[in-house]
Chain A
Amino acid sequence: MATFTDPEKTSRLKEQMDQSRKQYEQEKYKKITQKHVPKVSILKNAVNAFWVGGLICAVAQTLFNIFSNAGFTVKEANAIVAMIMIFLGAFLTGIGVYDSIAKVGGAGAMVPVTGFANSIVAPAMEFKKEGYVFGIGAKMFSIAGPVLVYGIVTSIIVGLIAFTIM
């Protein structure tokens, strides 16, 4: 009986073998590289994120206490505090200090609303040379845009569900 070989099938098989050999080589190489990558100190980073983030929130709380003692409602005081914190984050980014805070604080500097302000000012400033409309105007939202999109989308989905249930 003559053996039947489909040339197309053979070449596909060869391709698959090459593919999987390449994948195996790449996996092997990945293991080698991992040995040489210095370990980040998770503990040290976590402690730094904790106190930097905590400190920023404590500053905000101090402001909140001042404004609510001055007779503003919780809602109003919250709005004023958010505005001041955003101003501070934006200003510290403008004078070139905020990236140094983030170098130490990591997520402690990125997650508070001051970090949100940084994510607006940093690209806006950087791309000013590309013009006031498509430089500043468009690039302001390179990170803030996605945050607004997902925040608003999630809240509206929640709202629609809540509306249906009620």
Chain B
Amino acid sequence: METKKVGKQTIKFANPPIILETSSIVGPKEGEGPLKDTFDHIVDDMYFGEKSWERAERKFLEEAIKTVLNKKKLTSEDIDFLLAGDLLNQIISSNFAASTLGIPFLGLYGACSTMYEAIALAAVLIDGGFAHKIIAATSSHYATSERQFRYPTEQAVQKPPTAQWTVTGAGAMLLGTRDQGEGPVVTFATVGKAVDAGAKDPMNMGAAMAPAAVDTIITHLQDTGRKVEDYDLIITGDLGSVGRSIAIELANKNGYDLSNNFEDCGILIFDPSQDTHAGGSGCACSAVVTCGYLMKALREKKYKRILGIGTGALMSVTSIQQQESIPAIGHAVAIENV
């Protein structure tokens, strides 16, 4: 039987699913950053009017999904599946959001790569004829992540320059079959391998994720026969400034020159003056930049073809406390105007 798989890890969509609509909603710090005009909503209150940060994150995710539905004048019943995930234990924000919305739900965990994992799987389901409309969504929150993975937010600590700032917000993307409208389409998805380069420092996740991102980028190019220049932009999720410069060196060693069209969502979302050290991170980092800035640029035809790579550090609090290394993953999705 003929399959849609090309090369080692890549899926080539026969009928590329279309990105019908996106929404992005962010917290106050992101709302002061360089990309502030590309988001749908900016919420000034880290608590979002809720009594705990976990509830606030849940609300961010719910609002992002409701916004994408409203933009297309749809209701929950019109959506076949919701693919969502987040960073909190047992992806609790997504579980609650899914229970509120009542859309058939597949919970995903790929750490900060979850948005791209969700887009890839949504495209597979749509191209396979299993669904008409799917929403892919993720969220993260600075304070919920800090207190789960690191220190209480008011703890007196000095962070190293390699540390990253978890983005507060959520992004949602509505994908559907080609016959439903105009817009950028998903042409390829390259599923990443979990790569353990032996990095252990939880305050330097860029170093843990860079090898996984480069592995996926190179495999994608080999599988598709494309070249780096074939993309107007190759953009990783949250490598940060440290991870990005490591990735450029690693790619260079393998004979790929990424120095011209390689960006990172975590670097774009914050200005260096915002004291976020190496840049943004978290599920929402790639989600809000993709659903906000990148979609805007694609719709305005600034880019014809981009390759997004969601990057995730696959550690847990327990594995870090037991001084294990940090495996990482990168999932790539090619988005094009055709």
The stretch from A4-12, A65-73, A99-107, A145-153 touching chain B is A99-107
Given contacts A38-B161, A38-B162, A126 and B152 within 8 Å (CB-CB) = yes
Given contacts A29-B211, A122-B151, A110 and B242 within 8 Å (CB-CB) = no
How far apart are the CA atoms of A75 and B154 in the complex, in Å?
A: 32
Q: Judge whether B155 and A99 touch: CB under 8 Å.
A: yes
Given contacts A37-B242, A40-B160, A126-B147, A32 and B152 within 8 Å (CB-CB) = no
Q: Judge whether A33 and B155 touch: CB under 8 Å.
A: no
Q: Judge whether B52 and A129 touch: CB under 8 Å.
A: yes
Q: Which of A122-140 contact B (CB under 8 A)?
A: 122-123, 125-127, 129
Q: Judge whether A26 and B158 touch: CB under 8 Å.
A: no
Q: Judge whether A32 and B156 touch: CB under 8 Å.
A: no
Chain B: minimal CB distance from A97 (Å): 9
How far apart are the CA atoms of A121 and B154 in the complex, in Å?
A: 8
Chain A: minimal CB distance from B48 (Å): 15
Q: Judge whether B161 and A122 touch: CB under 8 Å.
A: no
Does any Cβ of A come within 8 Å of B338's Cβ?
no
How far apart are the CA atoms of A96 and B156 in the complex, in Å?
A: 10
Q: Name the residue of chain A whose CB is nearest to the CB of B55.
A: A129
The stretch from B11-19, B179-187, B245-253, B296-304 touching chain A is B245-253
Q: Judge whether B242 and A96 touch: CB under 8 Å.
A: no
| Cβ 8 A contact of A126, one of B51, B154, B245 | B154
Q: Judge whether B199 and A33 touch: CB under 8 Å.
A: yes
Q: What 0/1 pattern do residues 186 to 198 of B give for CB contact below 8 A with A? A: 0000000000011
Chain A: minimal CB distance from B226 (Å): 26
Q: Judge whether B242 and A119 touch: CB under 8 Å.
A: no
Q: Judge whether A103 and B246 touch: CB under 8 Å.
A: no
Give the interface of B toward A (CB within 8 A).
Answer: 51-52, 54, 147, 151-158, 160-162, 197-199, 204, 207, 210-211, 242, 245-246, 249-250, 325
* The 8 residue pairs across chains A and B that have the minimum distance between CB atoms: A26-B198, A102-B156, A126-B152, A122-B155, A33-B207, A122-B154, A122-B152, A38-B161
